[in-house]
Structure 1
Amino acid sequence: MKIERYLTNKMLLLTSIFAPINLAAQERPNIIYILTDQQTATAMSCVGNTDIHTPNIDRLAQSGILFKNAYCAAPLSGPSRAAMFTGHFSHEIGMPSNGIPMPEDLRGLSLGMLMKNAGYDCVYGGKWHVHTPSIPNQTFGFRKLYEHNDSGLAEACSAYLDNNPHFPFFLVASFDNPHNICEFARQQNLPFAEIPMADLADCPGLPLNYERNPYDADVICYEKSLNYSAYPTSHYTADDWRRYRNAYFRLVEHVDMEIGKIVDAIDRNNLWENSVIIFTSDHGDGVGAHHWNQKSALYEEVVNVPLIIVLPDKKHAGAELPQLVNNGVDFFASVCQWGGVDLPDGLCGVSYASLAESGDPGRTHQAYIVTETLFDKGGNTRGWMLRTQRYKYILYDKGRYREQLFDMCRDRGEMRNLAVEHKYQETLNKHRKLLYEWMNYHHVKQIRTEVHLIPGF
């Protein structure tokens, strides 16, 4: 497939997906965006995880649509959130790491500004991280409802919902937890939660993919060796990892309790009728799989995130959809569609609003999605994940076994790297070609002009 044909097909898909949607409750719904930090997709009891109990997230899932294949745009807070609120992949706008401000020329086209200009009352509470911890008041189209602090955030959001807000409104409730697992691993005090000591026998067991697969990318261990602050787990025993997993799940339960206060406010104000409620996280956590904690690596636990959409009147309540979704650039496009806002020129996000409205698990959506990474505070390793419906292709920019290929139907735990097996060469080449097209379209900087990052190109 040539680039021209790729672009033509992409435009046809965008035209189809961005068609007007019919919302029965009101023409433009309220939008309530509940965001956690560092929550992996399986850290919810509604997906069958018996090591955790999340009754309030489960309430959202029972009322809405669970997307099983949602992925972050980047497995690091700043770049992930940059994609959510600008609609661009982070490398395109010079925001591949934490702590980088949004370019001035994008502020007027950021999501809050677009929605505010469309008549929405835009309010933001909690963690911003694009790039400051708390959002500056009125700078990005949002009024600051509450600072970066999980203590009191839910109450502030609930009070806003209780006090007859202007319709339509766009409320963001952005929690820090379970991000406190970072402090737990460093044996520091936790900012926004307390985790009681647990007997080892009460801690969850180890995951089936606890060990690294023999053909895992060696650059991951290299990066771990360079950043002790992020990865103080090199000498963890199996018992240490069980305690880590226990703390992580308890932190998710803690933030679930806070989310419940907002869900209660939605309930008592009968906002289910005319609101779209979106729940997700900016990225996941290793949770001990492959001996990994934190983010940056492209393991499934790190890049696969929860995504639940509750439509007005709880349309398609309890449904599950398998289509591929990027919760960064696609979120931007989706909110624009629900808000009746034209998507700015040059953006590539594919709205999932019409997909959610259809509730159809067999509906054609997008053929693949991409997640990009730049390891934080280490050796600056770059990487990309390209996920198709069945396979997941990973490419790092250096190191042994820098290519990974996994069958997501048979090996979601990523324990057998098919890239080293000749019989999967054709599948590997197909995914290489797709990533090559994506890199060209998004102007990914190569090592040198004459040396492409992808083998064979």
Structure 2
Amino acid sequence: MPKNIIFIMTDQQRADSLGCTGNPVCKTPNIDALAGRGAVFRQHFTPHQICSPSRSTLFSGLYARNHGLTRNGVALPEELPLITHDLKAANYRTHGVGKFHFQPILAGAEHAMPDSNAFWTLPESEDWTGPFYGFDSVDILIGESVSATEGGHYARWLEAKAPEAAALYLPENALEPPAGDMDEVWKAAIPFELHYNSWITDRACDFLQSQKDDTPFFLFLSYPDPHHPFSPPAPWCHMYDPQDMPAPASAPDELSKMPSYLLDSDREDQAGKSYVDFLRNPGPPREQGFLQTTRRFSDASLRQAIAHTYGMVSMIDDCIGRLMAQLGSLGLTEDTLIIFTSDHGELLGDHGLIRKGPSPYRSLLHVPLIIAGPGITPGDRDGITSHLDLRATLQDYLELPRAETDGVSFAHLLSAPEMAGRDHLFAEYHPRTRKETYNQTLLTNDWRITVYPERPDWGELFNLTEDPGEHVNLFFDQDHSAPRKTLLERLQREFPPAADAGGVSLATY
């Protein structure tokens, strides 16, 4: 059994963005090395494609309808038991660094929530380092890109270290003029040594260096990238030639058979602020994910966004290499379980769409999962697994008391790659502004069905055996009425609608 655990999470990273998961372009030697000595889960999914619900599900082992954080802007109940509490009860020292997203970023100061910018204007924020959701101590970063310098420990560190540096994140100070038709693609002028990914890695290495006794530890690192805006610093913004980027996966006119909100998604973007402007001055709430078609973007701009995404992934990989080197120099590698994953994916041009939104495409639900360490047999795992299952899995693997969760343990897969995973999983999307986009999903090895209880004229059905990329919607195809009926009955029976579930929205996000 391992003595220590390091849990690394990225934000909005697709499962296919790593060398070890088959990406032919993106260079990730350090994550690939981790995969080479660990288990690579080829069919790992999140049941919620939005940041806060997914993260809360991973830590609690509960669907969002049961832990309460159903949409960004809601706070995770502080009394809810999480994997961090399980570990504290087993005498682990728990420390977290980076982006947590358990509370609304824009929650008012009256809520005194450390995951909100307003908390850092309060006297009680002075010298505050926790406790926080089962973490003994934390180094908090709030947001990403241009919004990461407003609150949290990183913002304070940057202000003290280099008071003028925050402005170097902004597109108007970019190393090169941004693309005219895609305002969230630019080369950030912030030096890499001042960038939040470097800061997260430095703080994590400091924590490792500070461990002076034999107390086991749980270290959580949460990198805000490769979440959009697509704005890495040098040298990572120059690492990939846009012309070498693979074209997104799409089929002609495929969205015409999908729910109409997908093609209508540009109207909100055209009528309101761009995503970057929204980050800097939010204004009225908008639907989560900032889903948009790619119709108004040039091929060159879209390829630049992909190149910058890969640059951010490689930047994080470099940080992980530094962390692993520190772990090795302290003689802790053999005693440490390493987990690498992401909260959800990114469309990145697939289906003619970008960012994320209500429709649970594989690009959004399918995320990387690599687990390496004592007792882990190296190799691929082909069975379905879920973020919902990670808490139960760690409880079994570490021989901790089992708490009641919605997940099922896949601890048996850690040492026995040939064993089976899940045969299905459920997913759910709770909207912020468009009630009609509430949806439920049943995913099996062969099918994905999605229904919209408020809109019976919307639905999605994909034969994953014949159409793994989900380009041909068969929901209203009479030739597929039999599998549709079977799947719908199972979804209704085992995962009935819960559109009104969740806590009170405290802020836009």
- The CA distance in 1 between the partners of 2:78 and 2:89, in whole Å, is 18
Corresponding position of 2:93: 121
Aligned partners of 1:204 and 1:79: how far apart in 2? 31
Map 1:281-296 to 2 at 5 A: 281-296=342-357
Q: For the residues of structure 2 that align with 1:140 and 1:206, how far apart are their CA atoms?
A: 41
Note closer, same or farther for the CA distance 1:223–1:272 as it changes in structure 2 (3 Å cut): same
1:410 partnered with 2:489 = no
Q: CA deviation at 1:268?
A: 2.9
2:285 maps to which residue?
Answer: none
For the pair 1:153 / 2:127, whether they are aligned, the reply is: no
Answer whether contact 1:38 1:177 (CA < 8 A) is retained.
yes
- The 1:289–1:399 alpha-carbon spacing in structure 2 relative to 1, beyond 3 Å, is farther
> Percentage identity across aligned positions?
25
Report the CA distance shift for 1:167/1:402 in structure 2 as closer, same or farther (over 3 A): farther
- The RMSD of aligned alpha carbons is 2.7
Match of 1:244 in 2: 305
Q: Which residue in 2 is equivalent to 1:225?
A: 267
Q: 2:476 maps to which residue?
A: 420
Q: Which amino acid counterpart does residue 141 of structure 1 have in structure 2?
A: G
Q: 1:206 aligns with which of 238, 247, 251?
A: 247
Separation (CA, whole Å) in 1 of partners of 2:70 and 2:102: 11
Cα distance in structure 2, aligned partners of 1:211 and 1:282: 30
Change (3 A) 1:276 1:380: farther
Match runs of 1:336-351 below 5 Å: 336-345=395-404, 347-351=405-409
Partner of 1:312: 374
CA distance in 2, matches of 1:96, 1:414: 25
Of the three residues 462, 484, 498, the one matched with 1:444 is 498
What's the TM-score, normalizing by structure 1? 0.80
Does structure 1 conserve the Cα–Cα contact (< 8 Å) formed by 2:291 and 2:356? no
Q: Is the 8 A contact 1:40 1:305 kept in 2?
A: yes
Kindly indicate whether residue 272 of structure 2 is the aligned counterpart of residue 300 of structure 1.
no
Task: Note closer, same or farther for the CA distance 1:433–1:127 as it changes in structure 2 (3 Å cut).
Answer: same
Instruction: Name the residue aligned to 1:169.
Output: 217
1:198–1:340 distance in 2 versus 1, CA, 3 Å: closer
Q: Offset of 1:279 from its aligned partner?
A: 0.6
C-alpha distance 192-38 of structure 1, shift in aligned 2 (>3 A) = farther
How far residue 414 of structure 1 moved from its aligned partner, in angstroms, is 0.9
1:54 has 2:28 as partner: yes
Tell me if structure 1 keeps the 8 A contact 2:237–2:311: no
Given candidates 68, 71, 84, the residue that maps to 2:42 is 68
Matched, 1:45 2:19: yes
Shift of 1:401: 6.1
TM-score (norm 2): 0.73
From the superposition, tell whether residues 264 and 434 of structure 1 become closer, same or farther in structure 2 (CA, over 3 Å): farther
Identify the range of structure 1 (418-427 vs 251-260) with the bigger mean alpha-carbon deviation.
418-427
CA change 1:195–1:61 in 2 (3 A) is closer
CA positional deviation for 1:215: 1.7
Per the alignment, residue 97 of structure 1 pairs with 71
Output the amino acid matched with 1:82: S
In structure 2, the partner of 1:12 is none
1:285–1:295 CA contact under 8 A, matched in 2: yes
Q: Are residues 1:137 and 2:130 paired?
A: yes
2:12 maps to a residue whose letter is: Q
**Contact 1:212 1:290 (8 Å CA) reproduced:** no
Q: 1:125 to 1:430 in 2, by over 3 A?
A: same
* Alpha-carbon distance between aligned partners in 2 of 1:75 and 1:60, rounded to the nearest angstrom: 25
Determine if contact 2:51/2:343 at 8 Å carries over to the other structure: yes
**Unpaired runs of at least 5, structure 2:** 106-113, 116-128, 142-195, 276-289, 502-509
